[in-house]
Amino acid sequence: MFLDGRILLVRRANPPDAGRWGFPGGKIDAGETIENAAVRELLEETGVHAEAHRVFTAVDVFDRDGDGRLRRHFVLIAVLCKWQSGQPIAGDDALEARWFELDELDESGLALSLDVARVARQAAVVFEQDLRSGNPH
**pLDDT tens-digit profile of 3-48?**
888 999 999 998 778 999 999 999 999 999 999 999 999 999 999 9
CATH of the domain at 77: 3.90.79.10
Residues designated catalytic: 96
Phi, psi (5° rounding) for residue 52? -70, 130
**Under 8 Å between Cβ of 42 and 48:** yes
Domain count along the chain: 1
Q: How far apart are CA 24 and CA 48, in angstroms?
A: 10
Q: Give the pTM.
A: 0.89
Q: Where in the sequence is the domain holding 15, given as residue range(s)?
A: 2-133
